[in-house]
Structures are given as C-alpha cells and as structure tokens.
C-alpha cells in the first residue's frame, strides 16, 4: 500500500486523455488499493487515476459518512443523464483550497467494471452522481475549473502557482 502523489492544477498532465484498462491483473488491484489509500489519506470522496499521473480509465469513490464503502469504477461509461440539472459546490484534490459551484445533470446511469473485470451498472443521484461526473471528466482530461469563467480560472491558476513557489 502506498500514498501516491496527486498532480496539482495547472499541471498539463491533468489534461491527458486516459486509455481503457485492458488487463484486470494484480497490477490493477495494487493501483486500486494505492488510489484508495491516497483518497482516504487526503481525505477526499473521489480520485481518478489521471490525478496520480496514471492515464488509464479508473476511478475510486467513497461518498459514505463512515468511509468504509469504497466503490471502484474501471472503464466507466455514462449511459444516460437526467434532463434536470443541479448546482453543487465542488472541490478537487488537484485544486486544493478552492470550492466553486458547478451545474451538472442531477442523475446519471453509469456502466463500469469492478477491479476483477465484472461489469455492473448504477443509477446515481446526489453526491455520487456529482462525483462520478467529476471523476469521469478527469479521465477525459477535464478539470472542474474549466466550467468556471476565464477570470476565475486564471485567478485559481495563479494562486496555485504562487503557493507552489512558496513551498519550493
């Protein structure tokens, strides 16, 4: 088990398109457990492989209060989304300290595989629906700040670049 390094916006690697997972092997299961450990350590509710610089279609999510309900989505696909949308205040482990309102479909139906290659489908609403859409965006190279105005994006970008310089 290992806590992995999380890429920070505006790292260009956050905009890479992730490739489908082809082999459901021990390497994949080690990555799943390292990503789960990384998410719980943060702490966060969701993490996409892209955020740990692995450009494969894999997400871990735990939206439970007790933090004991890990959900693994390999090669997730959005099959359908509700017409009605909802605004949610989102954050991101790759954009630490920033929370902004984003509007997305209220409910989504997602098909994925677990870490053993077994296919399943979920009808998600509430936080799980937001989280699935946010994390699938990461796999497609999209960070939630890209839904904000150019002005907000550039403010967030320069504040994070400045805090990186201060740490160095």
Residue whose structure tokens are 């969701």: 46
* DSSP state letters, 18-72: PBPP---SHHHHHHHHHHHHHHHHTT-SEEEGGGGT--BSEEEE---SSS---EE
Q: Is the CB of 46 or the CB of 76 nearer to ligand QAP?
A: 46
121 has catalytic annotation: no
Least distance between ligand QAP and beta carbon 18 (Å):
16
Least distance between ligand QAP and beta carbon 31 (Å):
18
Least distance between ligand QAP and beta carbon 47 (Å):
7
Q: Is the CB of 6 or the CB of 28 nearer to ligand QAP?
A: 6
Chain position whose Cβ is nearest to Co ion: 92
| Count of other CB atoms within 10 angstroms of residue 126 | 12
**Which is the catalytic residue, given 90, 100, 115, 135?**
135
Residue whose structure tokens are 């994390």: 135
Q: Is the CB of 22 or the CB of 66 nearer to ligand QAP?
A: 66
Q: Is the CB of 88 or the CB of 113 nearer to ligand QAP?
A: 88
| Count of other CB atoms within 10 angstroms of residue 53 | 14
In eight-state DSSP terms, residue 107 is -
Site residues for ligand QAP per CB under 6 A: 42, 44-46, 88, 90-93, 96-97, 127, 130-131, 134
Task: Work out whether 92 is an interface residue with Co ion (CB under 5 A).
Answer: yes
Q: Catalytic residue numbers?
A: 135
């Amino acid at each position: 088990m290992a806590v992995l390094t999380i890429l920070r916006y505006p790292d260009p690697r956050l905009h890479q398109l992730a490739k489908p997972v082809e082999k459901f092997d021990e390497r994949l299961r080690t990555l799943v457990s390292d990503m789960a450990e990384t998410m719980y350590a943060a702490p966060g509710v969701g993490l996409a492989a892209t955020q740990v610089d692995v450009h494969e279609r894999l997400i871990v999510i735990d939206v439970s209060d007790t933090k004991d309900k890990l959900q693994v989505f390999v090669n997730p696909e959005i099959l359908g989304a509700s017409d009605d949308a909802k605004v949610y205040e989102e954050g991101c482990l790759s954009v630490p300290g920033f929370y902004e309102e984003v509007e997305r479909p209220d409910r989504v139906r997602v098909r994925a595989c677990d870490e053993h290659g077994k296919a399943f489908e979920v009808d998600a609403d509430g936080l799980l629906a937001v989280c699935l859409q946010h994390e699938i965006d990461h796999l497609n190279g999209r960070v939630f700040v890209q839904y904000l105005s150019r002005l907000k994006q550039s403010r967030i970008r320069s504040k994070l670049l400045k805090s990186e310089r201060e740490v160095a």
